[in-house]
Structure 1
Amino acid sequence: MTSEIPRKGLLMLLVALGLTKGGVVKASKDQLVNCTCENPHCKKPTCQGAWCTVVLVREQGGHPQVHRGCGNMNPELCLGRPTEFVHHHCCYRSFCNHNVSLVLEEPDVDPPLLLILGPVLALLVLVALGALGLWRVRRRQEKQRGLHSDLGESSLILKASEQGDSMLGDLLDSDCTTGSGSGLPFLVQRTVARQVALVECVGKGRYGEVWRGSWHGESVAVKIFSSRDEQSWFRETEIYNTVLLRHDNILGFIASDMTSRNSSTQLWLITHFHEHGSLYDFLQRQPLEPQLALRLAVSAACGLAHLHVEIFGTQGKPAIAHRDLKSRNVLVKSDLQCCIADLGLAVMHSQGSDYLDIGNNPRVGTKRYMAPEVLDEQIRTDCFESYKWTDVWAFGLVLWEIARRTIINGIVEDYKPPFYDMVPNDPSFDDMKKVVCTDQQTPTIPNRLAADPVLSGLAQMMRECWYPNPSARLTALRIKKTLQKLSHHPEKPKVTH
């Protein structure tokens, strides 16, 4: 009987199929597909290659193991017939290797050998059953002691399901993280995602839908991406799983999962749920006292400053520019602070390597919030600072939306979006270009803001966010510090009804 595949032969095979670092050969971007990546060399739960691969291998002295990843060389290997040691499968659509199962051929064994092996196998089965029973006892004891399971799945999930406790915060605050980003381990994310029940749809748009979901009695938000916005799901998943983004003013990430429901693939992003909804929704319903307006503005600025700054060290993060900042992508938490959401268009930059990661998303930002250099197509796309400057322009528009809804001397105006009196409800690129670039218009700042020292400071800040010269605009850090200085009144903001 032939011996099992040796480790050296396995390594050569995995290299040939692109499942180790040594097997990567660059392909043109328009040929690349996204694949599930589950093998010892995966740095992320997904990868990109010329095709997706699944390899089932029986190593020397071991059990069959499944390796999923991306292939980039020698497609002829994909045509090989399965043997008792290896079976490989290739496919050419994004994530087509996600749920593929393979089976190794059964080895041929001569009848006399079976007669000899029969009693030995029976004894081995009895030993295995005894070991299994012992393992189950120990496993139960481990669960009771709160240890992590073999899959890396936190026992907090088990405790929550057995006792009905509220465990989401404990799960996210525990040491059960990937080590590379702010997300839970990939297997735990999938476990959590599949325990979520959708309760009600709370928002719809071109991007897809947002639902309020329930996980062991706790509310979570589930963003279900439309099929045409797959790259946004991929980008957010990538950033949340590789970057330490835990911050009070950045939307809290829980899990990401691609699942098949109703015979179609659904892309889920599960985050903290905030019942007030977006800042856009909140401003429709709620006039603001000046101190509440300032609280919303300061907290949003803190989130933007955290995104923009690069933090060095093992607990660090690259600098991130949002590229689609608007009141719909800012959420209002129960403590009336803001947090920034939707990183589907974000770009990342690290000074050390001077590497600019712009992602692979064909979607563009929201036209109403586009800076003049974007509208007249003069932005330097190879310069990371350029993207931060466009965020600051958009942040000035968000400040304008907040200031307009603030009560001064008993007077407040209805909510309106920026440029509401200059462009149609759904403005085209050319509509915005004419107003912002040709006519060099900015939203009208209400005169009544001058009557309040806090809001007059806010008005001046808007003007400094809207300079036509991008490099002259305020930085997010300067905005944050200036707003914090304005925020010196002790009274706590209240929601008025």
Structure 2
Amino acid sequence: LQDLLNDDCTTGSGSGLPFLVQRTVARQITLVECVGKGRYGEVWRGVWHGESVAVKIFSSRDEQSWFRETEIYNTVLLRHDNILGFIASDMTSRNSSTQLWLITHYHENGSLYDYLQRTALDVETCLGLASSIICGLVHLHVEIFGTQGKPAIAHRDLKSRNILVKSNRQCCIADLGLAVMHSQGSDYLDIGNNPRVGTKRYMAPEVLSEQIRTDCFESYKKTDIWAYGLVLWEIARRTVVNGIVEEYRPPFFDTVPSDPSFEDMKKVVCIDQQTPVVPNRLFCDPVLSALAKVMKECWYQSPSARLTALRIKKTLKKLNNCLEKPKSE
């Protein structure tokens, strides 16, 4: 599969294989086991010529997400270690209904959400997960010019369930079904036409208060940063300090119900202006207290006050160097 992707990816501008090859690959896949289920549809582990691949089968009501993700992967060169690797997209009719498939690399650790449920982290792993996610987000957010370029992309549904953990404990960002694209040259903002909205629990205050400037690309990047801060909080809580660690909990677990409504979230985030409580033990560790500071700077009510992805990436890189230095001496 790697050879196929490496050889064939030179044609066209997207991240995937030529369309006819995508169709061929899709139809040679055997579905083995269902590894996830939700409103969006199902994710299966499939096998193609002896290799595992992930197959996301979209529910018919979420056709727009399949369409959007397919469109982005096929028009934008998104090969990056921290973005889920795209293989193929296919539309088939099975027993008189249309099935929409998205075929990607398979990561057996599953989502960050799953991984954090069962894994307590050390500081190094915590920083590695956090750094790899921000690397992926920077790659999405920046516009790259030239033939191998890409537009700037905002994710709009960043959360621990949409991030996968690879076997090397680096993360990659998945689910571009809600993404928006922007090119400076043409100043064209491509919002797609998906009726779906992001995950309420991770919505930034300006989305909940409906104050967000929907015509301005920068404002979507800022909502990604709010969500990144929440993911960082999820990771940090599962990090052991002096033998102490907390059970996994989603952001705002102590302030909203398990399936919060828009109104529930709006009250907590906009009206009461609450942010997640940062565990005190994090301040006993220099790296974790630096991460706590980053989190808080993702959570300003004012979008323009929040850090940029690039700023966070640089901060975490510095922390990484500090962690590695003592070892090498």
Q: TM-score range by the shorter chain?
A: over 0.9
Q: Tell me the equivalent position of 1:188.
A: 21
Which residue of 245, 261, 264 maps to 1:431?
A: 264
Give the structure 1 partner of residue 324 of structure 2: 490
**2:279 aligned to which of 446, 470, 473:** 446
Alignment partner for residue 249 of structure 1, among 82, 92, 99? Answer: 82
Kept after mapping to 2: 8 A contact 1:220/1:270: yes
**Partner residue of 1:373 out of 183, 206, 217:** 206
Deviations 1:143-169 (A, max 9, x none): xxxxxxxxxxxxxxxxxxxxxxxxx11
Does residue 386 (structure 1) correspond to residue 209 (structure 2)? The answer is no
Contact 1:223–1:269 (8 Å) recurs in 2: yes
Match of 1:458 among 282, 288, 291: 291
The whole-number CA distance in structure 2 between the counterparts of 1:255 and 1:180 is: 14
> Do the aligned partners of 2:8 and 2:18 also contact (CA within 8 Å) in 1?
no
Contact 1:301-1:480 within 8 A present in 2 as well: yes
Report 1 or 2 for greater relative contact order, CA contacts < 8 Å, sequence distance ≥ 6: 2
Give the distance between the partners of 1:196 and 1:480, measured in 2 at CA.
Answer: 37
Query: Residue 269 of structure 1 corresponds to which residue in structure 2?
Result: 102
Q: Distance in 1 between matches of 2:164 and 2:95?
A: 30
Q: Which amino acid aligns with 2:150?
A: K
Tell me the SS of whatever aligns to 2:44: strand
- State how far apart, in whole Å, the 2-side matches of 1:197 and 1:189 are: 15
The reply on whether 1:307 has 2:140 as its aligned counterpart is yes
Q: Equivalent residue of 2:140, what SS?
A: helix
The secondary structure found in structure 1 opposite 2:297 is helix
Tell whether 2:185 aligns with 1:352.
Answer: yes
Give the whole-Å Cα distance in 2 for the aligned partners of 1:460 and 1:426.
28
Partner of 2:92: 259
Q: Which amino acid is the alignment partner of residue 312 of structure 1?
A: F
> AA paired with 2:68?
R
Deviation of 1:262 after TM superposition, in Å, equals 2.2
Q: Secondary structure at the match of 1:360?
A: coil
Residue deviations 1:262-302 (CA, integer Å, cap 9, x gap): 22110000000000000000000000000000000000000
- Aligned partner of 1:461: which letter? V
Distance 2:172 2:293 in 1: 23
Give, in whole Å, the separation in 2 of the partners of 1:412 and 1:180.
Answer: 46
- The runs of 5 or more residues in structure 1 that have no matched partner are 1-167, 492-497
Match of 1:292 among 122, 125, 141: 125
Q: Following TM superposition, by how much is the alpha carbon of 1:178 offset from its aligned partner in structure 2, in angstroms?
A: 3.6
Q: Secondary structure at the match of 2:214?
A: coil
Amino acid at match of 1:376: S
1:474 match: secondary structure: coil
CA contact (8 A) 1:252 1:272 kept: yes
**Partner residue in 2 for 1:61:** none
Shift of 1:176: 4.3
| Equivalence for 1:415 | 248
- Indicate whether 1:233 and 2:233 are aligned: no
Per-residue CA shift, 1:210-248, capped at 9, x if unaligned? 000000000000000000000000000000000010000
Q: Are the aligned partners of 1:236 and 1:344 in contact in 2 as well (CA < 8 Å)?
A: yes
AA in 1 matched with 2:143: E
| Pairing partner for 2:235 from 398, 402, 412 | 402
Query: SS of the residue aligned with 1:490?
Result: helix
Who is 1:172 aligned against? 5
Aligned residues: 324
Contact 2:9–2:15, Cα closer than 8 Å, also in 1: no
By how many angstroms is 1:174 displaced?
1.2
- Contact residue 300 and residue 339 of structure 1 kept, 8 A: yes
SS of residue in 2 equivalent to 1:183: coil
SS in structure 2 at match of 1:174: helix
Matched-pair contact (CA < 8 Å) for 2:82–2:132: yes
Q: What's the secondary structure of 1:258's corresponding residue? A: strand
Equivalents in 2 of 1:172, 1:186: separation in Å? 12
- Counterpart amino acid of 1:490? E
Q: Does 1:199 align with 2:32?
A: yes
Identity of matched residues, %:
84
SS in 2 for 1:348: strand
Cα displacement string for residues 432-473 of structure 1 (whole angstroms, at most 9, x for unaligned residues): 000000000000000100000000000000000000110110
Corresponding position of 1:109: none
Distance 2:9 2:148 in 1: 15
Is 2:109–2:115's contact at 8 Å kept on the other side of the alignment? yes
1:323 counterpart residue number: 156
**Higher Cα Rg, which structure:** 1
- CA distance in 2 between counterparts of 1:293 and 1:440 reads 27
Output the amino acid matched with 2:288. Answer: L
CA distance in 2 between counterparts of 1:351 and 1:267 reads 32
Aligned-pair CA distance for 1:177: 4.0
Distance (whole Å) between structure 1 residues aligned to residue 243 and residue 5 of structure 2: 44
